[in-house]
Structure 1
Amino acid sequence: MKKNEENKNKFAAFFGSAANLHRQKPPYSVYISPSNDTFNDFGYKPRVRIVIVGNDSDQILDLEGRLGFLDGSPANHTTLEAILNESKGLDVPATTERHRFFTILPDMEAYRRVVERFGPKLAQAALLAANDLVAMKELRPSLRLHSHAERTEVFRLSFMRMSDTYFAYQRAGSVLRGLVHEEIGGIHGDMTIRFMLAGRSNHHEIAFRFEPDSVLPKRISVIIGKNGVGKSQTLARVAHAALKRSPSLVGADGTPILVSRLLAFAPTADSLSLFPSPKNANHRVSYFRLTVGATNRGSVGITASVAIRDLLRMKRRIKGVTRWKIFLDSLDVFSDARRICLVTNSSDVKFISLEDLEYAPEKLHLERLAAVDWKKDPVRVIDGRAYKLSTGELSFIKFAAQASALVENGSLLLFDEPETHLHPNFISRFMSLLDYLLQQTGSVAVVATHSVYFVREVFREQVTVLRTDETGSVLAERPRMRTFGGDVGAISFFVFGEDGPSSFAAQLTDRLVKSGQSWSDIERQYGDELSPEFLMQLRRRMELGKSE
């Protein structure tokens, strides 16, 4: 028999009480016991603890899971409690023939943890022993256990209620072959939101187009328009619909979109209320609400340093890559990323570069973390001296750390007016960083903005311009011009309808015309300070005045 087949047959599964969990378990066993979480999913309580023991009693992994039963089992039990009541406190061998049971883990990260702890072969064996649906579908599809489970009420109403679990059921099979084999991806093609804003006369239908696998980066859609046209409200409707998996937000196939996680970024803590509260227990999607802007110590929200600290404590990976490495790689947009450091409390080593926090033995790593003064912002160190980072740079680093920590395979990211804290020169860097994060995680993003600098960073298929007509109806249009790398003035002309001079420019024109100076005098005196376009319009105005 092949070694792989031997591994698959080593594990045995047991049902047991929570009181027995402290007892030593035999090697190569999977122990399924009731969970302390008694949350009721439409009459079902499928949540359990799944403890996997490897080749010795020290190789243990304790996980949350879900347990269900097919109809018509010989044991005639439909709950774990019934099985344990009959066993009178003894562990019960869990068999497909007698119990017709199946399990699933709650999200992609749980499957990564199993593979990381035991390796692909033992992970496969353990999950097959537990009749895990992802493993059965991926490794033993001919048994069709997953097909039978899909027809049960507990699967439809409870297992698939949360998008994290549904996404894992669809995508985690690749993880079982090894972490580096994880397939990433989420929304492809159009994502369409349908809604109607209060005070508007028409229904809205806005399509966001994504082509994440394209050679040209098309992972970010941008909404732009004048104040009051509904950009931010559109984002809010997308967030509400995604959290409910509502039919008002559909993919290219017309069905509600599937995202594993939703991250919503507001410009300030005061504007967080635009997005739904994350405390709502009815959300069907893992959800985080965050701010883009740098936060000063003592203000509401977390600082860039605290965001870095939180990320450093995470050992999770995506496609075999640590989230810390994703964060560091994203900072390549800084030409001097190596100089960005954290401030310490030590008199010996005053600064620790972000890069040095990754490549260090565990003891040294912990000592360095303990030495950092987390109350102080990161700094730029040149020749041993510290220089403050700009607000835009701190916002940038904070966003990179938070997004790297929280983004998941197949996430949807929403941004409301991120330009609030970014200099126009930083917008290009921000978009480069964002595209890198999306590419690494198979995710997509929608940005609502006033800034045409965001528009020039995406292709016209990814741009939605919102306008209102004379009836008050809101119209969604695509630019006719090529936007990627386009001229900011030309984009502004199309988006905001700036087909004439600004009001201040018009006032200056009137003042110069009424000054009584000749054209040659004005050109000689102000020609170096006024644009050729303004001078041309001024001369035309003066010539028209002479002819009248």
Structure 2
Amino acid sequence: MTWKIKLEDPPDGFDDGINISSSKPNWNDFGFNFHASVNFLYKGEMIFLSAYVLPLNIKEQKPYSYLTGAPSGELKYFVSLLSNPEQYRHLASKLPDSAFIYVLKELHEVSYDRYAGTGKYEHVIQIEPFRLGVLRDQKAYLSLINGFAGAYVKAPLGDAKTPFSFSTLLPGTENFVKLDIGFRHHEHFDDRVHCLIGVNGTGKTNLLARLAVEAAALANRKQDGPSTQLYSENKKLIQYDSSTLDFADDFRFNRVVSYFSDPSSALPRFSSVGVFEYHAFNTTARKETNEFHQNLSYLLVTLLRVTDDRFSQAKSKIFTDALSGIMPMDLLAIPVSNDCPEYCCVADREGKKWSFINQMNGEQRSLDILGTIDITREPSFLSAGSRRAIDLSSGQRSMFHFALHFLTLAGYGTLLIIDEPETYLHPNLVSDYMMFLYSILELTSSMAIIATHSAYIVREVPTHCVHILERKGPDASISRPYLQTLGANVAEISLAVFGDSTIDAYHRKISEILAKTNMSFDQILEDYKDIFNIEMLLEIKDRISNPEEYD
């Protein structure tokens, strides 16, 4: 059987319709079959696509169970999804941008509809025929998540661990500042993390935001296809004229992922569809989103479902291992709607439904959970006894969000830009965070640059990967510390990075005041030993014994 989607007043180059036929008439996906072959004529060339087409039974207000159940002839009421991400890239390579979008609109295509924010077909995604008849295929799920958005993205050129130099003119400065990223090769240490450190207000995040924008600009200049534009929180186009990104070889980043915890961060938030891939994610945001590439529940399901290569198969274990020491992973649950079948969910004390991740076994169970995710809530930890959703601490939330998003989006040759991850992390969590980061960067041949003012972060990277951004009046500069930072003492790192600024530290003022009183050291020791540490007491004793050295 065949069907036709009639095109009213089509743009130049198109015929009068799009042809649909059943491609797997004997197939059965839990009682559904929407496999379709799509073809149409454009400027004399016949273009073929593989897709899922769900025809709607208007009389019964639901989809037919089979594409072949729809009456032949003109197809008016339906939705579709291209069968795998490659189909979007194929279609985009055959058509101009406007024609590409025109075809997807005429196909009532779900991935494009979600990207455009229309939400016209959102209700169809949630129903059983779509869950079981379409999303059973992992490639169809990937189409739903990022099919249209990834249509023009070019593949990474190679290992992101490639030396480069970036120069830019920061706001309020009169000279160009230069960031030189280099690497060394040691058998048992892979130096894939660099730190940009400095006091607040020096422009660390601004510099990395400019790096992301220039990386996109370089990718746009060097490759055919639509240019990717980066946008701010309020959807304003971000452009900088005073930046240069140079690689030793003819290299470029085609993929950048940014993480931030401060809502006022200067990092770009959004990107247009084009040759360069960019994502930004707030690791502490509580508000959920229905965007598949951001929604934590969909990311979590993706992490567990997509196992089409060796690295993907290991992601779930890496995720659990990274977080099991700081949170009860056996209690992790995804929020689901009331449409979720009773056999694969439980209700909390407020009547809200959840599905435990460790019970997400069996194909139909996982599809029933996937299709009924509640996008208004985020994954949480559910106490089996009290049936109470457990709120995470800010540090746990930040670590959980980062690990989940990073593992899901982790891909070959990615540059990660991370803005002050220590903001919500206890120093102990910083070490866990860095171990997790190093392991994934090595597995994906990626690299990271962290903007930080934490000595605990710097302690985890070698000196040649530490870049100190300083300002003196209108001049900015980047230097390296004199100290071997990897594994160094935190106090020594603070002194090496921030230098003489520690002279004005509050505890030194107290030491100075006490040393100049008439109190003996024994009396000071007796009165203050419960609040002063040994280093501070020794400093006071030295000030009393050698006052001329502190004048």
Task: Flag whether TM exceeds 0.5 (same fold).
Answer: yes
Shift in Å at residue 277 of structure 1? 4.9
Shift in Å at residue 516 of structure 1? 2.3
Which is helix-richer, 1 or 2? 1
For residues 45 and 174 of structure 2, the distance between their equivalents in structure 1, rounded to whole angstroms, comes to 46
Q: Please state if 1:228 is matched with 2:201.
A: yes
- Structure 1 residues 523 and 370: alpha-carbon distance in aligned structure 2, compared to 1, 3 A threshold: same
So what's the TM-score if we normalise by structure 1? 0.62
For residues 499 and 390 of structure 1, the distance between their equivalents in structure 2, rounded to whole angstroms, comes to 32
1:139-538 alignment, distance < 5 Å: 164-165=153-154, 167=156, 185-210=158-183, 215-245=188-218, 248-253=244-249, 255-259=250-254, 261-271=255-265, 274-280=266-272, 284-295=275-286, 306-313=295-302, 315-316=305-306, 319-322=309-312, 325-333=314-322, 334-335=324-325, 338-342=329-333, 352-357=355-360, 360-369=361-370, 375=377, 377-379=379-381, 381=383, 387-469=390-472, 472-498=474-500, 500-538=502-540
Identity of aligned residues (%): 22
- Structure 1 residues 372 and 278: alpha-carbon distance in aligned structure 2, compared to 1, 3 A threshold: closer
Q: Are the equivalent residues in 1 in contact too, given 2:168–2:178 (CA < 8 A)? A: yes
Shift in Å at residue 399 of structure 1? 1.8
Between 325-334 and 60-69, report the one with greater CA deviation: 60-69
The one-letter code sitting in structure 2 at the alignment partner of 1:238 is L
- Structure 1 residues 546 and 429: alpha-carbon distance in aligned structure 2, compared to 1, 3 A threshold: closer
For residues 22 and 213 of structure 1, the distance between their equivalents in structure 2, rounded to whole angstroms, comes to 57
For residues 319 and 542 of structure 1, the distance between their equivalents in structure 2, rounded to whole angstroms, comes to 67
- Structure 1 residues 385 and 342: alpha-carbon distance in aligned structure 2, compared to 1, 3 A threshold: same
Which runs of no fewer than 5 residues in structure 2 stay unpaired? 1-13, 26-36, 53-66, 69-81, 94-98, 100-136, 140-149, 220-242, 349-353
SS class of match (2:154) = helix
Please list the CA deviations of residues 298-332 of structure 1 after superposition, one character each: whole Å capped at 9, or x if unmatched: xx899999403344157545744437x51442231
SS class of match (2:163) = strand
Q: 2:545 aligns with which of 531, 543, 546?
A: 543
SS class of match (2:20) = coil
- Structure 1 residues 392 and 301: alpha-carbon distance in aligned structure 2, compared to 1, 3 A threshold: farther
1:22 is aligned to 20
- Structure 1 residues 356 and 199: alpha-carbon distance in aligned structure 2, compared to 1, 3 A threshold: same
For residues 227 and 332 of structure 1, the distance between their equivalents in structure 2, rounded to whole angstroms, comes to 34
- Structure 1 residues 25 and 522: alpha-carbon distance in aligned structure 2, compared to 1, 3 A threshold: closer
Q: Are the equivalent residues in 1 in contact too, given 2:296–2:379 (CA < 8 A)? A: no
The one-letter code sitting in structure 2 at the alignment partner of 1:451 is S
1:121 is aligned to none
- Structure 1 residues 304 and 490: alpha-carbon distance in aligned structure 2, compared to 1, 3 A threshold: farther
- Structure 1 residues 479 and 373: alpha-carbon distance in aligned structure 2, compared to 1, 3 A threshold: same
- Structure 1 residues 423 and 294: alpha-carbon distance in aligned structure 2, compared to 1, 3 A threshold: farther
- Structure 1 residues 532 and 26: alpha-carbon distance in aligned structure 2, compared to 1, 3 A threshold: closer
CA RMSD of aligned residues (A): 4.7
1:108 is aligned to none
Q: Are the equivalent residues in 2 in contact too, given 1:265–1:291 (CA < 8 A)? A: yes
- Structure 1 residues 370 and 237: alpha-carbon distance in aligned structure 2, compared to 1, 3 A threshold: closer
For residues 485 and 194 of structure 1, the distance between their equivalents in structure 2, rounded to whole angstroms, comes to 30
1:32-181 alignment, distance < 5 Å: 33=40, 50-51=49-50, 61=83, 63-66=87-90, 164-165=153-154, 167=156
Shift in Å at residue 479 of structure 1? 2.5
For residues 538 and 402 of structure 2, the distance between their equivalents in structure 1, rounded to whole angstroms, comes to 45
For residues 301 and 459 of structure 1, the distance between their equivalents in structure 2, rounded to whole angstroms, comes to 40
For residues 32 and 430 of structure 1, the distance between their equivalents in structure 2, rounded to whole angstroms, comes to 49
For residues 45 and 520 of structure 2, the distance between their equivalents in structure 1, rounded to whole angstroms, comes to 87
Q: Are the equivalent residues in 1 in contact too, given 2:260–2:282 (CA < 8 A)? A: yes
Q: Are the equivalent residues in 2 in contact too, given 1:303–1:377 (CA < 8 A)? A: no
Q: Are the equivalent residues in 2 in contact too, given 1:380–1:389 (CA < 8 A)? A: no
Q: Are the equivalent residues in 2 in contact too, given 1:466–1:475 (CA < 8 A)? A: yes
SS class of match (1:517) = coil
For residues 293 and 426 of structure 2, the distance between their equivalents in structure 1, rounded to whole angstroms, comes to 18
For residues 456 and 193 of structure 1, the distance between their equivalents in structure 2, rounded to whole angstroms, comes to 24
For residues 18 and 151 of structure 2, the distance between their equivalents in structure 1, rounded to whole angstroms, comes to 30
2:30 is aligned to none
- Structure 1 residues 330 and 459: alpha-carbon distance in aligned structure 2, compared to 1, 3 A threshold: farther
So what's the TM-score if we normalise by structure 2? 0.62
Q: Are the equivalent residues in 2 in contact too, given 1:163–1:284 (CA < 8 A)? A: yes
The one-letter code sitting in structure 1 at the alignment partner of 2:253 is L
For residues 279 and 294 of structure 2, the distance between their equivalents in structure 1, rounded to whole angstroms, comes to 19
Q: Number of aligned pairs? A: 411
- Structure 1 residues 402 and 492: alpha-carbon distance in aligned structure 2, compared to 1, 3 A threshold: same
For residues 19 and 315 of structure 2, the distance between their equivalents in structure 1, rounded to whole angstroms, comes to 37
Q: Are the equivalent residues in 1 in contact too, given 2:270–2:278 (CA < 8 A)? A: yes
For residues 177 and 547 of structure 2, the distance between their equivalents in structure 1, rounded to whole angstroms, comes to 47
For residues 389 and 356 of structure 1, the distance between their equivalents in structure 2, rounded to whole angstroms, comes to 21
Q: Are the equivalent residues in 2 in contact too, given 1:263–1:288 (CA < 8 A)? A: yes
For residues 45 and 183 of structure 2, the distance between their equivalents in structure 1, rounded to whole angstroms, comes to 36
Q: Are the equivalent residues in 1 in contact too, given 2:161–2:446 (CA < 8 A)? A: no
Q: Are the equivalent residues in 1 in contact too, given 2:332–2:379 (CA < 8 A)? A: no
Q: Are the equivalent residues in 2 in contact too, given 1:195–1:205 (CA < 8 A)? A: yes
The one-letter code sitting in structure 1 at the alignment partner of 2:20 is H
Shift in Å at residue 256 of structure 1? 4.9
Shift in Å at residue 419 of structure 1? 1.6
Q: Are the equivalent residues in 2 in contact too, given 1:46–1:66 (CA < 8 A)? A: no
Q: Are the equivalent residues in 2 in contact too, given 1:267–1:291 (CA < 8 A)? A: yes
Q: Are the equivalent residues in 1 in contact too, given 2:271–2:279 (CA < 8 A)? A: no
SS class of match (1:497) = helix
Q: Are the equivalent residues in 1 in contact too, given 2:281–2:294 (CA < 8 A)? A: no
